[in-house]
Structures are given as structure tokens and as C-alpha cells.
Structure 1
């Protein structure tokens, strides 16, 4: 048991200063196990911005979301002797860890709060993993995950504050810059910061002039609140159309907080109503079914919150694992209940 504990400690202490080399190594580790997703042009968003606009379609991953990249890289670098992977998740990371565990012949226990949509629970269970629903926030789920991680052979993979996870997500940035070398602005959904940190590191290492903007909902914006405070802080977690962006960043955050603080040029907050309209726009204009978390960049542009870009723009369509009942209500202009908050609907274009 002590040898495995020592391996865990070495794992957590290494790569505390990530570089572009780590991201290239991650690409080699996950090659053939994740999809190099297409970067599709959006005629509608090109018209809105006056610049070429591209959608990075992470919805085409086998698990339906970008999280598979980081989860696969971390799982393949787990300490020798690991028999079980565990994590806390708002859904997509858990699905990625469950998928990676199955591919490697490992067990998985995924800890989630009561706010996680049923569709995401079902997707994880379908991969053969155990799920534990704990409390009403990701912090509650994390506490349970940390307990599990103390057992022999069990290894915890953070959804965002892990060097291998961040490097894995950073491979998205490599692909975008390879496809559009003259990219001006990169819009990245922001939650715990693993995606934003990795993508920003990749993009700015290749082209320091690229503007990288983090975007999130205005209710429960943990990373933005923490950066404003100068340290990681707790933020109440509430129901949102962008449920994948919920949860805190961890008071003991070691990597993603500092990387987002130092690498992001700006953080923009969008309202639930703006997310609602952007989900409709992505569906009706570009025919994509996607989670609310995917459209925060589109929402900021349609709401006039983003400074006009001077060249090509890209955003990451992060996942498709949406609650279809809720999605149908949004597409048909119906009201949506988010916890105790009533979001009034409106038909697209009305």
C-alpha cells in the first residue's frame, strides 16, 4: 500500500509547470483512442461576427464530450497497481473516466451530486461503472471521491486540476491552431478550468497573439469569482442550462486556477436567457444538438458582450449529452424550471 501511495504522490507532484511538450505527449498517449474532431465553419456566426467562425465539434467523441481526452491521458498515466479509477463529475468527465477505465480493464466509481441530469447518469452506468450520488453540489461529490481515493488500488482523477487532464484537453488547442493558423480569437467554455487552461496553454504557446476568452454562466461562476478574489473561493452551485459548467474549483486548487488567471485574456459571463437563445441558434442555424455549456461563446456574441474580433474565431462545442426533455422545451420556446428559478421561454426569432 505504501508503494502505491508513493506513486500517487509522485503523480500529483509532477508536471506542476505544464508546457507545450506535455500537450504533445498527451496527443501521442491518446492517439487512436479519441477522435481528432472536425472544425466546421458556421455561416450564421460568420455573418454575426463579420469574420470566419468555426465550431470545434467535440460532440463527436465516443462519449459525446471533450472530457474523454483528459480522462484517457490521465488513466493511461495512472500509477502502477491501480485497479479502480474514481472521480467527481458533473457528468461528462465521469463518462470519460468510465470509458477509459473500461478500455483499460479497470473498475470505476463516479461520484456526482443530485444536480447531475439523469441522461448523464444513464450514460455512465451504461459503461459498467458504479455511480454514487452525494449531496447537492460537486464539493459534496468531491468529498466522497477523496474518501474512496484513500483505498488501496483506487486512483482519483480530478475533472480539471490534474496535469494529465489539462494536457489532454490542451490537444484541442493544438488541433484548432493546426487547422486555422491565423486564428484571432478562441472562445472556451469555463468551469473548473481544465479545458480553458490546456487550450490556452496550447494556443498561446503556438501563437502568443491569439486572444483566448473564457466564458461561463453568471450564476455560480466559480473561476471568475476566484480570480476576482485572488484565490480559490467557494461559490454556491445552482441549476443551470449550462449544467456542465457547474461546481467549484477546489480550495486546494494547484494548477487550473493559476493557469486560467495567467493565460486567459478575458472572462465573460452570460445569463441563462442568453444561453437559452444561443442553444436555439446553434440548433436552428447550424443543426447541432448540444448542451447549454457549449454555447456560452455564441451567447456572448449574440448578446453583444464580446469585442469585435479582427480575424477568424473558433469556439468549442464541448458536448452533446443534453437532457432531451429540457432541450425540446428550449427548442419549442417553452419555460424551463432551473431549480427554483423560472426561465421564461420564447420561440426562436420571436
Structure 2
């Protein structure tokens, strides 16, 4: 497993390259929980999502290569494109046809090549692996990589300082890089802290894998939490075991609950994508409670403006 020393080293390595994002209280959600609720505003990160932490740490650790590549649902690709540009390296980001157009354009705006390959994250990964095998690229996956996990864990170090009395931390769960890193950092110093993973009901690969007891493939389906889509890899080396060991509870949300989370956070002034709204959605639907201060990680804000506006029009 990735440990505290790895995460502390990553924090030193990426200092000055990523933002230390603030936390903000949510009185409305706190009233529902009956305890203070803090929002970790990671959607204000330079590339609009937490992924910049892990991508930057991984790029800073790589040697001489032809370029960097990955398969991404959008946010990791954007982060890797930014980190590669900072390092003066070529980047080719492989994505499925399910990735929203605004995320494709954001990657291209950073000077990276965005390749749309097939209808799933797994198909996109085949092209990224080919680039590694045939053209000498460094493959930096979105979650199942020690440097990526350690970089994401720096968010947990910040939370230990910002909300030292946190009782529960709710973390959007997809491939598990964010949860693994944050939980490893926080539980190393606060073993009693409760870690709750939250995902969508439509195509949650980590949830299905945990039920099966080993990594499995699932059909990737359209969802408001599109950043949480994609498989965890049948040969998953790190995040499956770390999530299984470090996560205390798992909550799966339907699409209405995710939309409600997006709308509520907008009412508090936070424009976030569906993946970032799952914590608020879980509180609003009564599925997430805490006996003490609760932290919700707003993991990203890269939502298509038209889609966001449509969600706001639909709701109460």
C-alpha cells in the first residue's frame, strides 16, 4: 500500500504546482446532519479537479520518455495535460465517446492531443497501452499508480490541518485513487476517522468489484456523475485492496439524488459536476449521517454549463 511517508514526500514535491484548496461550512447541510458540515472546495483546483495532485506528482517522478499518455473520463486527462505542459512533455489523452465535449476541449486547449477511442474507458485504455508499448510513452493511469495515489493523498493532509476534529469524510468513489490516498493519509494519523465512499448506482465498478471480492468489469452507462464512470482494471494492483481495507461505508446514489446535490451546492454558490455532488446528494437523501463534523469533498467543477443549467431548471 501507499503510506504516509509517500504522501508527505508527494506534498513536498508538488508544493507550488497545485493549490491548497480551502474548506467552507455548509449551515444548511449541517442542520440536516445535526453536526458541522465542511465542504472541501477542490473544484477550485487549477484544472478544476483534484486530479492535478496525482498527475503532477507522477509526471515529476518520471524519467525521459517520448511523452505521457493515459485513459481518462476527463479530469485526469486535463490534469495530465497541464502537468505535461509544465514539464515540456508531449501528452496524448485517450477517452471514450461518453466523455463530455467540454472536457475534450479543455484538454486540447492545454496543448495535448485528445483521442476518442470506443465507447468505454477500457477501450480507451487499450490505445494508451499501445502508445506505451509501441511508441515509448509513459502511461500514467488515472488511479491505480503509487505516485498518483500519493499525490491525491495530499488532500487528506490538508484536511487533517483544516478540520482536525473531523469525524467522517465522504469521498467520491470511482477507481479509488482519491479515496485510497485521502484515507491512507488521514487514518495514519487519525485511525478512528470514518471514511465513506459515495458513487452512483449506474455502472459503479468499484462497488461491483467489492461485492464480488475481486475486480470485475461492468457496463459503462451514462450518468450525471460521469467522472465516476469506467472500470477499475481486472489487473488492479493497488486501489482495490486499499479501498477494501480503508473504507468504512459505501453509499450508492440514484440520478435524482445526484441532481439534487448539484442543485443544492449551486444554491450555496458552488458550481460542481455530478461526481462532486454525491456527498451533498447523500446527505439530502438521508443516506449519509455523522456523529461529529462531516467533510464532503467537492472533487471537481468541470461540468458542461448547458448541462448544469438544465439540471437547475429541472429541480425544485
Q: Give the TM-score normalised by the residue count of structure 1.
A: 0.89
2:41 to 38, 53, 57: 57
Q: The residue matched to 1:183 in structure 2 has which SS?
A: coil
* Aligned positions of 1:308-319 closer than 5 A: 308-319=289-300
- Separation of aligned partners in 1, 2:83 and 2:269: 29
Aligned counterparts of 1:92 and 1:274: Cα–Cα separation in 2: 22
Shift of 1:309: 1.0
Q: SS state of the match for residue 93, structure 2?
A: strand
Residue in structure 1 matched with residue 82 of structure 2 by the alignment: 99
1:197 to 180, 183, 191: 180
Q: In the aligned structure 2, how far is the partner of 1:160 from the partner of 1:216?
A: 16
Q: Mapping of 1:6-21 within 5 angstroms?
A: 17-21=1-5
Equivalent position of 1:113 in the other structure: 96
CA RMSD between the two structures: 0.8
Structure 1 equivalent of residue 16 of structure 2: 32
What do residues 105-163 of structure 1 show as CA deviations (whole Å, max 9, x unaligned)?
00000000000000000000000000110000000001111111113541000100000
Q: 1:128 aligned to 111, 131, 137, which one?
A: 111
Task: Kindly tell me the number of residue pairs found equivalent between the two proteins.
Answer: 316
Q: Secondary structure at the match of 2:40?
A: strand
After superposition, give the CA deviation of every residue in 1:180-224 in whole Å (9 maximum; x if it has no partner). 111100000000000011011111111000000000000101001
Q: Secondary structure at the match of 1:151?
A: helix
| 2:281 aligned to which of 296, 299, 306 | 299
- Say yes or no: does 1:82 pair with 2:65: yes
The unaligned stretches of length 5 or more in structure 2 are none
Query: Which of the residues 207, 213, 220 maps onto 2:203?
Result: 220
SS at match of 1:314: strand
Aligned to 1:71: 55
Residue segments in structure 1 that go unaligned for 5+ positions in a row: 1-16, 334-346
Matched, 1:164 2:147: yes
Distance 2:39 2:287 in 1: 19
**CA distances 1:205-261 after superposition (whole Å, capped 9, x unpaired):** 110000000000001010011011000000000011000000000000000000000
Work out which of the two has the higher radius of gyration on C-alpha atoms and give 1 or 2: 1
Q: Select between 309-318 and 107-116 the one with higher mean Cα deviation.
A: 309-318
Matched residue SS, 2:134: coil
Q: Select which of 304, 307, 312 maps to 1:323.
A: 304
CA distance in 2, matches of 1:40, 1:206: 23
String of CA shifts for 1:165-186, please: whole Å, max 9, x gaps: 0000011111011111111000
- After the TM superposition, list the runs of 4 or more consecutive aligned residues in structure 1 that deviate by more than 6 angstroms: none
Give, in whole Å, the separation in 2 of the partners of 1:315 and 1:268: 13
Task: Flag the structure with more relative contact order, 1 or 2, with Cα contacts below 8 A and sequence separation at least 6.
Answer: 2
Q: How much does 1:47 deviate?
A: 1.3
Contact in 2 for aligned 1:81/1:153 (Cα 8 Å) = no
Greater CA drift, 288-297 or 144-153: 144-153
Question: 1: CA distance between counterparts of 2:261 and 2:53?
Answer: 26
